[in-house]
Amino acid sequence: MKNRVLILLLLGPLMWIQAQDAEKKDHPLFGRVEGFNLYDYIVQDFIAYQFCDEAGDNYIVEGQLSYYYYETDGSIDPKKILKKFSDIGNNAEGKVYGDGENQLYIVMKEDSKAIYVDLFAEDFYYTINIIERGELKTEINADDLLVDLNDIGKAVLFFNFKRQESVITDEFKPIIEMIASVLKIEPSIDISINAYTDNIGRSDVNRELSINRATMLGNALVELGIESGRIECRGFGEENPIADNSTVMGRAFNNRIELVRK
């Protein structure tokens, strides 16, 4: 665990608080296990954090980091620590997974935030890394989409892809089904799916990534019954940013899909 903390120290400005005044520093959603004291507490406004999915594969999560190190004078079964936080995640209808012995991951939503929790527990200490990011609003109904395509000529959508990935996950399916329903209602509308990224990484890689994302969305629409001839898939990478790439939210806005009426 110390190696992970050292890596965090190299990534940017931190606020590090020792055990004094620790009572005020517990995370409002997760608190602490009874009998433990908070010894180290780090807040970092932005970090690219390596998280783990249910299959055991790593991916990058960007957002604000809160790191906590708790310790007790006695001893406790690590499974009891994991259960406390597992219950919190389950009650929030989040995804809860881990090795069942020392490691626990939680992915959940609270208000407009996506929250990622990485917990490691031993018999006398435990650490929590909590990454929080504001979610872009992805909800758009069929009427709004049709108005945008007819009146503006395009609709801008935000799919929260994992960094450097183009996988269409279950969370995207409702909005893809809605797009397909609009295209079925209005068979005269043909679209260009234009995908963009932020400027993190090589420009040629970003362009390829955007092409893959546009193509994946186009294929998903075809699978739902939209004729392939009505869809053009294009990727522009980091071109034409609509927000400041130096901020987390700006990069989130630049990672977008534009449906342009042809």
DSSP output for 31-56: ---TT-EEEEEEEEEEEEEEEE-TTS
Residue range(s) occupied by CATH 3.30.1330.60 in the chain: 142-261
pLDDT at residue number 163: 78
70-127 pLDDT, tens digit each: 999 999 999 999 999 999 999 999 999 999 899 999 999 887 678 999 999 999 999 9
pLDDT at residue number 15: 45
Residue ranges of the chain whose pLDDT lies below 50? 1-23
pLDDT at residue number 110: 83
Buried-state track 115-154, b at ≥16 Cβ within 10 A, e below 16: bbbbbbbeeebbbbbbbbbeeeeeebeeeebbebbeeeee
Angle at alpha carbon of residue 242, lines to 196 and 177, rounded to 5° = 50
> Which phi and psi angles does 173 have, rounded to 5°?
-60, -40
Q: What is the pTM of this model?
A: 0.55
pLDDT at residue number 78: 96
pLDDT at residue number 17: 43
CB 186 within 8 A of CB 256: no
Q: Which residues fall within 8 angstroms of residue 149, CB to CB, at 6 or more apart? A: 155, 182, 186, 189, 191, 259, 261
pLDDT at residue number 138: 53
Q: Where are the alpha helices (DSSP H) in the chain?
A: 2-9, 78-91, 142-147, 173-185, 203-223, 248-254
Q: What is the CATH number of domain 142-261?
A: 3.30.1330.60
End-to-end Cα, the chain, rounded Å = 53
Taking the C-alpha atoms of residue 88 and residue 77, their distance in angstroms, rounded to an integer, is 18
Q: Which two tokens stand for residue 225?
A: 């019954």
